[in-house]
């Protein structure tokens, strides 16, 4: 019987977490001042996250020489326990699976993106840490796993925890740009 996958990571160079938090806050502020519409800001954050994710997956795969994940469950565990810890120094727990095992929630209490942040009432619609959703979506898309990623609960808005819902859409086939007979 196969045991649970062991997670080994090569240590990454470190920097101050506060610098990261302040930088992210400053970026969100710049986006808010550029766009009038808060939903535009949310979209932009998601897009930025997507751009980061498609490059981040390479680094993740190189630094952790994991075998291929056999199921979506393993993928979710890898994200929650290994990737989040490796890059952002915190871990999430995976919970609330649906019957098909195609949907789950990542639940975490500490969030380096929003450490010193208080969300005023006029920005109720703002998904402050939306970039994280984009990163997960982009990273998984590059390994042919299409997911939808959304925030269900946000501690900035007074909820008990941060909850990100992952929905598996499909596994895509590997597309090669060149045909064999050319």
Partner 1 sequence: MNQESHRNLNIVERPLIKQKPEKTVLSLSAFAYLYSELIQYNIDKSANTTELEERLDKVGYEIGLRINELLSCREKTLRRRTEILDILKFIHSTVWPAFFGKNADDLQQAAAAEDEYMISDYDMKFTKFISVPRSYGSFNPGALVAGIVRGVLDSAGFPARVSAHTVEDRERSRKPITTILVKFHSVVMTRQLYIEKVKKG
Binding string, 37-56, against partner 1, x = CB under 8 A? -------x---x--xx--xx
Residue 100 neighbours by CB under 8 Å, 6+ apart: none
5 binds partner 1 (CB under 8 A): no
61 binds partner 1 (CB under 8 A): no
36 binds partner 1 (CB under 8 A): no
10 binds partner 1 (CB under 8 A): no
* CA–CA distance, 77 with 91 (Å, rounded to integer): 10
Q: Is 81 exposed, middle or buried (0-12, 13-18, 19+ CB in 10 A)?
A: middle
Distance from CA of residue 98 to its chain's centroid? Answer: 20
Stretch that binds partner 1, among 72-80, 86-94, 99-107, 173-181 (CB under 8 A): 86-94
Count CB atoms within 10 A of the CB of residue 98: 11
Interface residue list for partner 1 (CB under 8 A): 12-20, 22-27, 29-31, 34, 44, 48, 51-52, 55-56, 59, 86-90, 110, 112, 116-118, 131, 155, 158, 160
């Amino acid at each position: 019987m196969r045991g649970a996958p062991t997670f080994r990571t090569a240590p990454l160079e470190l920097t101050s977490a506060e610098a990261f938090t302040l930088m992210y806050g400053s970026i969100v502020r710049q986006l808010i001042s550029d766009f009038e519409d808060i939903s535009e800001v949310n979209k932009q954050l998601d897009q930025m996250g997507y751009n980061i994710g498609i490059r981040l997956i390479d680094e993740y795969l190189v630094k952790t020489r994991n075998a291929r994940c056999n199921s979506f469950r393993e993928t979710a565990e890898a994200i929650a326990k290994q990737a989040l810890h490796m890059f952002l120094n915190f871990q999430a727990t995976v919970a609330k699976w649906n019957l098909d095992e195609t949907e789950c929630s990542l639940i975490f209490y500490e969030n380096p993106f929003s450490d010193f942040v208080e969300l005023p009432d006029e920005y109720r619609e703002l998904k402050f840490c939306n970039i994280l959703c984009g990163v997960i979506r982009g990273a998984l898309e590059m390994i042919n796993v299409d997911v939808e990623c959304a925030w269900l609960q946000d501690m900035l808005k007074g909820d008990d925890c941060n909850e990100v819902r992952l929905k598996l859409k499909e596994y895509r086939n590997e597309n090669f740009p060149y045909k064999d007979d050319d």
